[in-house]
Amino acid sequence: MKNLKILSVALVIMIGNILFMGCEIYNKYGENKSNSTNTNQEGLSIYEYNDKFTNLYKKYIDPIEKEEYDDINKFLLKQDNEDNYKSLRKYKKLLNISNQQLIEFKKGMNNLVTKDIDLTKLNNELIENTLNLIKEIEVEIKEIDNIPLDNYSMAKSEFMIYLQKNISIQSYIKTKFENSIESIRNYLDIELNK
């Protein structure tokens, strides 16, 4: 009986220590979490944002030849001597490159908080419109993959009509993306290479 009392007291002390240490660890974790949140809420200055935006734009968006991912017919007209299949594979490759560039741009711009609330809102709109454009390009790539092989043997003019009816990026999505870029450019009062 005496041993049982000693054992139960020891067990209560051990459980108390474990609970106390768990609370201490939890409190430390909570403090660290709130400290990191406070530093993130300070945000970037307009100048820091301007540098980041400009560098990411020049690195990822500027190299994309927009007419190549937004108008399949213009691209195919440039490929005058090639057959439809090869031309479309080149176009698809450009779409994949453009899509990857947009993904990298979005990663760099994602979750940026600035001290300027209006600029943060513009950035969030840009991220949303970039994501929509990425999704639209991915849909177009899937549509290209689903073209029946028989259609590649059509005459170039017929093939272009078929593509125009069945495959295209929604122009309003591309326009919203470009307008987001333009809004930030105007807000920051900077020139971007076009």
Give per-residue pLDDT as tens, 83-128.
999 999 998 998 999 999 999 999 999 988 899 999 999 999 999 9
pLDDT tens readout for residues 130-186: 999 999 999 999 999 999 999 999 998 899 899 888 887 777 888 899 999 999 999
Q: How many residues are given for the chain?
A: 194
Count Cβ neighbours within 10 Å for each residue of 50-72 and write b for 16 or more, e otherwise.
Answer: bebbbebbeebbeebeeebbbbb
Q: In whole angstroms, give the CA distance from residue 109 to residue 57.
A: 10
Task: Map out the domains of the chain as residue ranges.
Answer: 1-42, 45-188
Q: How is residue 151 annotated by DSSP?
A: G
Q: In whole angstroms, give the CA distance from residue 66 to residue 62.
A: 9
Note the pTM of the prediction, 2 decimals.
0.72
Provide φ and ψ at 114, rounded to 5°.
Answer: -115, 165
Provide φ and ψ at 44, rounded to 5°.
Answer: -85, 150
Q: How confident is the model at residue 39 (pLDDT cuts 50, 70, 90)?
A: very low
Q: In whole angstroms, give the CA distance from residue 141 to residue 88.
A: 10
For residues 101 and 145, is the Cβ–Cβ distance under 8 A? no
User: Per the structure block, which two tokens stand in for 92?
Assistant: 């698809």
